[in-house]
Amino acid sequence: MTVWENLTEISETADGVALQIAYAGASNFTGTPIYARAACYLHQDAAACLRHAVDLAGQIGFRLRVFDAYRPTEAQWRLWAHTPDPDFVADPRRGSPHSRGAAIDLTLENAAGEVLNMGTPFDDFTVQSYHGRTDIGPSAQRNRALLLGIMTAAGWDYYRNEWWHYQLFNPRRYPLLSDRAAGTQMMA
């Protein structure tokens, strides 16, 4: 349990997701690890929506693969320092839904653990990452629509510029949290 009692850890075993925390390694848009420790946390309200999405995906033979969830404010500043583009990285002065435990970045994988084609990779900061693109292949369009349907049916809102990003409605009602305040020990 964390210092902030409303933040809960998400695990592969307990929550039925695959974890591939992108910012814990160098395979992310910055080319360097942002987190010192790979971990996945969500506000308890977001965790409930995630459990619903896991159930919906599982009913049709899919599993969710999580790239990021709660992101300490310190990490948000590092991402912004690397790429200060408000179309894809939230300005930390305003705060990210991730830094509130109210957002998640994810994709779908099939029963064999293979990631579905979404037309672009995670964190591809181009217009092809926007929802509703018709200049990506038909299978990628279907896969994005499937993910969108699962997530919105489970109570998530989407961000129009990133097919992978979902957040709770009105995420600003949750406080911004630093690593220390959250007690997550994700930052060095």
CA distance 165 to 161: 8
Mean pLDDT of 15-30: 97
* Short-list 139, 136, 116, CA closest to 127: 136
The set of residues, in sequence order, having a beta carbon less than 8 Å from that of 188 and lying 6+ positions away, is 36
CB distance 158 to 148 below 8 Å? yes
Higher pLDDT, 1 or 19: 19
CA distance 100 to 153: 22
Query: How does pLDDT run across 130-172, given as a tens digit for each residue?
Result: 999 999 999 999 999 999 999 999 999 999 999 999 999 999 9
Q: Where are the beta strands (DSSP E) in the chain?
A: 7-9, 18-19, 41-43, 63-68, 103-109, 157-158, 165-167
Instruction: Tell me the percentage of the chain whose pLDDT exceeds 90.
Output: 96
Q: Supply the pTM of this predicted model.
A: 0.96
Domain borders along the chain are: 7-182
CATH of 7-182, one of 3.90.1210.10, 3.30.1050.10, 3.30.70.20, 3.30.1380.10: 3.30.1380.10
4 has a pLDDT exceeding 90: no
Record the tokens describing residue 77, joined without a space.
């500043």
Identify whether 162 is a catalytic site residue. Answer: yes
Backbone angles phi, psi at 40, to 5 degrees: -135, 120
Record the tokens describing residue 92, joined without a space.
């930390």
* Short-list 143, 58, 65, CA closest to 104: 65
| Rg, C-alpha atoms of the chain | 15
Provide the pLDDT confidence category of residue 103 given band limits of 50, 70 and 90.
very high
Residue 188, classified by CB atoms within 10 Å of its CB into exposed (0-12), middle (13-18) or buried (19+), is exposed
Position 49 scores a pLDDT of 98
Instruction: Please give the mean pLDDT across all residues of the chain.
Output: 96
1 has a pLDDT exceeding 80: no
User: Of residues 74, 109, 114, 162, which has the active-site annotation?
Assistant: 162
